[in-house]
């Protein structure tokens, strides 16, 4: 008796998988709050409060999930994800002074806030898969993630 082995698609018809794609961009910022005095800003942000700003070579990781398409075997087409991230994120932030952008007019452009902004852009516009999280590596020692979760009320 010669039984055919079932394909992956037949064994796991509704398999959910995660895809993480990495991108690089460079931007500068100055961490400074107009709500604080010069002394408070310096105490809070230290050297990152330099009036001339400073730059980072960021690594952005975008994680999406979804049912693995039985025809393509993919969560989403990388061309779609790459194109969206290029248009909506990289072209917006690469080689920019974050302090000059409207989304940071009243918000300190920390990497945490940048992470939230990028997550929200992706969540609003990328419809080919479910956005799980955005992670930004700012330095070899610092990385930040946002999953869209809000803090519980106090």
Question: Domain for residue 44, yes or no?
Answer: yes
Question: Domain for residue 3, yes or no?
Answer: no
Q: What is the pTM of this model?
A: 0.88
Total domains in the chain come to 1
Please check the confidence at residue 149 and state whether its pLDDT lies above 90.
no
Q: What confidence tier does 152 reach under pLDDT thresholds 50, 70, 90?
A: low
Question: Domain for residue 136, yes or no?
Answer: yes
% of the chain with per-residue pLDDT over 70:
90
| Cβ atoms within 10 Å, residue 47 | 8
Question: Domain for residue 65, yes or no?
Answer: yes
Question: Domain for residue 125, yes or no?
Answer: yes
CATH code of the domain covering residue 137: 3.30.479.10
% of the chain with per-residue pLDDT over 90:
85
Instruction: Give the residue numbers spanning the domain of 126.
Output: 15-145
Question: Domain for residue 119, yes or no?
Answer: yes
Question: Domain for residue 5, yes or no?
Answer: no
Tens digits of per-residue pLDDT, 85-111? 999 999 999 999 999 999 999 999 999
Question: Which segment of 8-22, 48-62, 138-152 scores lowest on mean pLDDT?
Answer: 8-22
Question: Domain for residue 79, yes or no?
Answer: yes
């Amino acid at each position: 008796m010669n039984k055919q082995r079932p394909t992956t698609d037949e064994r796991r018809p509704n398999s959910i998988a995660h895809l993480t794609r990495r991108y690089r961009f460079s931007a500068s910022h100055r961490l400074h709050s107009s709500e604080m005095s010069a002394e408070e800003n310096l105490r809070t942000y230290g050297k990152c409060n330099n009036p001339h700003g400073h730059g980072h070579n960021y690594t952005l990781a975008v994680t999406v999930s979804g049912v693995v398409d039985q025809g393509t075997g993919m969560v989403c087409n990388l061309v779609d994800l790459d194109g969206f991230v290029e248009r909506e994120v990289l072209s917006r932030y690469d080689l920019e002074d974050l302090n000059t952008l409207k989304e940071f007019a009243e918000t300190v452009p920390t990497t945490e806030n940048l992470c939230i902004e990028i997550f929200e852009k992706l969540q609003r516009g990328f419809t080919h898969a479910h956005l799980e999280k955005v992670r930004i590596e700012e330095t070899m020692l610092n990385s930040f993630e946002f999953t869209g979760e809000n803090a519980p009320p106090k």
